[in-house]
Structure 1
Amino acid sequence: MKAAVVHGKGDIRIEEYPTPAAGDGEVVVRTRVSGICATDIKTLLGQGLPKDLPTILGHEVVGEISEIGRGVEGLRIGDRVAVYPIAVCGNCYFCKRGRHNLCEHEFGLAHGIDGGFAEYVRLPKEIVNIGGVVKIPDSLSFEKAVLAEPLSCVYASLKTCKVEPGSVVVILGAGPMGLMHLKMAKWAGARVISVDLRDDRLKTAKNMGAEVCLNASAVDHIDEIRKITGGRGAETVIASLGIPGVIEQNLKLTRNGGTFNIFGGPPAGQTISVDPRWLHYGEINLTGTFAASPVQFTACLDLIARNEMAVEDLISDRFGLDNFLDAVERAKNQTMIRGIVVF
């Protein structure tokens, strides 16, 4: 099969690669669409590069089942499916409490096993057994369905922050994930303030429903948000980017009793300073969210299928495997909203 194969930092090649086969309890999916995530780009740049190379990245995958291993029930060859990408044990402390993304033995697509930037992808029994291969209704396109995975991560953040109708949500960063946070917060009935350094991204956020858009390089966005909120700050602040300095600078945007959520993955080894008196007397909830559970993944797929969440405007660019390197460059240079690879 043809695949985008990572050989090292900044070294990705379009080449022939062994086609996977389904073992007992496993499923092989013929990839139809794979989403390009910021995590993939950070990995290519050397952040968290897997030790076992070569490998295939890509954890946002939809397609058709092409092979089923012995013992798999409820699925058929030809089924249109979306893939929950985390392989979990199902038996550890966290799995038993429905927090599969924190599984003590987790691995997954592009994280221990080959991912979806390939014509075929093998799904281990740990994904199949937890219902991680979810059927897509015929009425739902693959292009829309592939956004269920990143949207479910945003949905998990929304649940952690307990966003309520009428509350003010500040979203730091109007990139692809920041725009998904915007859509999800609007769906929950919140008033959204988007903050970024680029006017083009803020224009997109405005078109998607942000009540206020602030360019932090042009205005004192902290002062502006305090004015908008009567000096109290926002009920929820979401850092959709993982820059420690930006996180630390914007903690003060959170009102007493509010929540600050670190959503974007920060680099290893960096720290932020937090005033413990502010945490204590302000009863601030400082949280992080990572990935989502299978239940949240399925819920978001259903949201898209029922047209409760418009996602088609998030897809700005489409690529094939043959020009996948162009996609990587555009993602690195932040010149697209969301790119997908269509097979």
Structure 2
Amino acid sequence: MKAQVFRGVNQLSYEDISIPEIGADEVLVQVRVVGLCQSDIKKIRYPLYEPPRIFGHETAGVISAIGEAVTDWQVGQRVVVMHHIPCMRCAYCLNENFSMCDTYKRITTTAGFVPSGGGFAEYVKVPGHIVRNGGLIPIPDSVTFEQASFVEPTNCCLKAVKKAKVEPGQTVLITGAGPIGLMFAMLVKYFGARAIATDLIPARIEKALNVGAEAAFDARDPDLSAKIKALTGGMGVDICLLAVPSEKAFFQGLDCTRKGGKILFFAEFPDEVEIPINPNILYRRELDLMGSYSSSYRLQALAADIVFNRRIDVDKLVSDRYPLKELTAAVERAVQPTPETYKILLYPENGKE
């Protein structure tokens, strides 16, 4: 089969490798669509992992083989592959901190080499732990593979929205209107709150309005805080979701969030970044700072329901489609986006929808 093998920083090699052999409790999935995630881009562009590896985890495809001990799945079923499933027994899982679980963090889906997701290949092997514990999600006939590939990123955003306790009638500031920020805008609206988005690119500001934001502004607007206060009766927003790793965006969010409000870090900052803040600001204004990393097992069914029943329109997020052999070009497009670049999807040679 063909696969994009990570051979070193910014070194992707489109190679012929063996199709993974499956064990008795494992499943082999033929990849039809895989989304390009910011975490994939970081793994490719920075020295975070030893090569060789095959990344990619926003995967939708068709079961092509099952082990003899697999009873609940059949060849030909259309499925979403979840690459993270927690153990459900450790102290983190018992406190519903599923993404802190060691089993959750240890990726086991693979197309070869050290298990690293495996979606950037024609076939991916799903281990028994994932198969048995909800890591395969059947795709309804009415849902395309493209739409289904959004279940995992939707879960990640949904977790943040739930953690921030977005409620009907609230106002939420979303910093950044890339694919994640736009999904936040959709989810905020779905849960009955008002979304305000910021970005540096005019087309993305317009796109935010198109997908459901009540207002959207240029992040460089010197009157940004005043405009947001005017939209919120002088109070400021209830919640700020940081969808870009920007120190300036954080301080804008701090400026625009009301007393007693919340600021949630969703985008991952570079490790060397440190943000100085006077703790009395948090104390006197009773602000909550929080972070949200990855997905939540508890929200998996809801994320699938939201995507499969079109409660948000994920089709509006897709801007670019590349064959898998052009993954390097897709990464470059994501790193240097055009004004119209949002979500990028990739297709192995074995066929499109």
- Bucket of the pairwise TM-score, normalised by the shorter protein: over 0.9
1:21 equivalent in structure 2? 21
Is the Cα contact below 8 Å between 2:3 and 2:16 reproduced in 1?
yes
1:174, distance to aligned residue in structure 2 (A): 0.4
SS state of the match for residue 94, structure 1?
Answer: helix
1:144 equivalent in structure 2? 147
Alignment of 1:65-144 (within 5 A): 65-105=63-103, 106-108=105-107, 109=109, 112-144=115-147
1:341 equivalent in structure 2? 346
1:182 equivalent in structure 2? 185
Alignment of 1:250-329 (within 5 A): 250-329=253-332
1:171 equivalent in structure 2? 174
Is the Cα contact below 8 Å between 1:88 and 1:127 reproduced in 2?
no
SS state of the match for residue 258, structure 2?
Answer: strand
From 242, 246, 260, the equivalent of 1:243 is 246
Is the Cα contact below 8 Å between 1:32 and 1:63 reproduced in 2?
yes
2:351 equivalent in structure 1? none
Alignment of 1:30-45 (within 5 A): 30-45=30-45
Alignment of 1:193-272 (within 5 A): 193-272=196-275
Does the C-alpha gap of structure 1 residues 99 and 129 become closer, same or farther in structure 2, counting only changes over 3 Å?
farther
1:64 equivalent in structure 2? 62
1:295, distance to aligned residue in structure 2 (A): 3.3
Is the Cα contact below 8 Å between 2:83 and 2:130 reproduced in 1?
yes
1:7 equivalent in structure 2? 7
Does the C-alpha gap of structure 1 residues 133 and 282 become closer, same or farther in structure 2, counting only changes over 3 Å?
same
Structure 1 unaligned blocks of 5 or more: none
Q: Which moved more, 1:96-105 or 1:27-36?
A: 96-105
Distance 1:132 1:114 in 2: 13
Is the Cα contact below 8 Å between 1:130 and 1:294 reproduced in 2?
no
Give the TM-score normalised by structure 2.
Answer: 0.91
Does the C-alpha gap of structure 1 residues 193 and 305 become closer, same or farther in structure 2, counting only changes over 3 Å?
same
Distance 2:86 2:106 in 1: 7
Does the C-alpha gap of structure 1 residues 253 and 126 become closer, same or farther in structure 2, counting only changes over 3 Å?
farther
Question: Deviation per CA, 1:165-203, whole angstroms, max 9, x where unpaired?
Answer: 111100000001000000000101111111111111111
SS state of the match for residue 86, structure 1?
Answer: coil
Does the C-alpha gap of structure 1 residues 19 and 207 become closer, same or farther in structure 2, counting only changes over 3 Å?
same
Question: How many residues align structurally?
Answer: 341
Distance 1:124 1:239 in 2: 34
1:245, distance to aligned residue in structure 2 (A): 4.2
1:325, distance to aligned residue in structure 2 (A): 2.2
Distance 1:272 1:249 in 2: 13
Question: What is the one-letter code of the residue matched to 1:13?
Answer: S
Distance 1:145 1:12 in 2: 26
1:141, distance to aligned residue in structure 2 (A): 0.8
Does the C-alpha gap of structure 1 residues 202 and 54 become closer, same or farther in structure 2, counting only changes over 3 Å?
same
1:322, distance to aligned residue in structure 2 (A): 2.5
Question: Deviation per CA, 1:284-308, whole angstroms, max 9, x where unpaired?
Answer: 1111101112332331111222222
Distance 1:21 1:283 in 2: 55
Q: Which moved more, 1:294-303 or 1:142-151?
A: 294-303
Does the C-alpha gap of structure 1 residues 193 and 339 become closer, same or farther in structure 2, counting only changes over 3 Å?
same
Is the Cα contact below 8 Å between 1:21 and 1:67 reproduced in 2?
no
Percentage of pairs with the same residue: 36
Structure 2 unaligned blocks of 5 or more: 349-353
Distance 1:251 1:128 in 2: 43
SS state of the match for residue 79, structure 2?
Answer: strand
Is the Cα contact below 8 Å between 1:50 and 1:112 reproduced in 2?
no
Distance 1:265 1:201 in 2: 21
Question: Deviation per CA, 1:135-166, whole angstroms, max 9, x where unpaired?
Answer: 11111111111011111111101100111111
1:59, distance to aligned residue in structure 2 (A): 0.9
Does the C-alpha gap of structure 1 residues 282 and 73 become closer, same or farther in structure 2, counting only changes over 3 Å?
farther
Give the RMSD, CA atoms, in angstroms.
Answer: 1.8
Question: Deviation per CA, 1:44-63, whole angstroms, max 9, x where unpaired?
Answer: 220x6212x11111110011
Is the Cα contact below 8 Å between 1:248 and 1:274 reproduced in 2?
no
Give the TM-score normalised by structure 1.
Answer: 0.94
